[in-house]
Amino acid sequence: MKWARASKDHPGSLFIIAAMHQAGECGLERSEEKMRSLLKVCAEGGYKDGQEEYAAMCWWGKGGGVDRETSLRYASLACRDGDTDIRENLPQAACLLGWLYQFGEGGVDKSVTLAKHYLQLSADGEHPMAYFQLAEVLITESLATYDNLINIPGFSQLPKALYWARKSVAENDKKGIHSRTGITESKAFVKRLEAKVPNRCAECNKGKSMQQFSEITILNNGPKLMCCVR
């Protein structure tokens, strides 16, 4: 805190002081309002972590009212330097952009393509709140592209959507983190998808056990559900 105060003109120092206000540490008042005020200055100073956190505060309305347009602005600034950085360091900002494009909020039009792009980056960066939304967007994209079909011969989004939906449920069960729809609805979503793909392969649409799908995923430590062992 001593050195953060000494270098308070640096946006990174303001980020530290804002975190202290959030927790009420080092003799500082616990105040979301002061945290929000400091994060805004930090974000304006170009500090990307500050931009991400301020975008999240504006999305959720912490320390002030919900402000989707401001959330869009700062999440976009945080994500401006490329996909690799987003996956590794700023998955929350990418998740916010995914939501904004998914629901057409903050002054942007709905875009399934952009929503999927940012939610995929966020999910690859292991942000748990992106998992369910990505699964939902994958199904929405399939319905829009293939005339209300989600499981057609030769291609299907279902295995990939199932992977992320199951990952969302697992994360909810493990950490108590709830998506927009909640754990009960997430589990119901998974069951509805499973009912549509009993033992089906995404590439050839021929039967293959879901147990083997799961084993392939575990062995490869990732979402390898695009096709069966053929």
Quick: pLDDT tens for 170-180: 887 776 555 45
Residue 100 scores a pLDDT above 50: yes
Handedness of CA 174, 179, 185, 187 (dihedral sign): negative
Q: Token pair of 145, please?
A: 């592209």
CA distance 122 to 137: 13
- Where is average pLDDT lowest: 13-17, 129-133, 181-185? 181-185
pLDDT reported for residue 51: 94
pLDDT reported for residue 133: 93
pLDDT reported for residue 219: 45
CA distance 84 to 22: 29
At 159, is the pLDDT very low, low, confident or very high (cuts 50, 70, 90)? confident
Its pTM stands at 0.77
Residue 229 scores a pLDDT above 60: no
Residue 198 scores a pLDDT above 80: no
State which of 1-5, 46-50, 158-162, 210-214 shows the largest mean pLDDT: 46-50
Mean pLDDT of the chain: 78
At 224, is the pLDDT very low, low, confident or very high (cuts 50, 70, 90)? very low
CA distance 55 to 93: 7
CA distances 114 to 82, 163, 188, Å, are 14, 20, 26
Do residues 99 and 105 touch, judged by C-beta distance below 8 A?
yes
Q: What is the mean pLDDT of residues 174-190?
A: 68
At 220, is the pLDDT very low, low, confident or very high (cuts 50, 70, 90)? very low
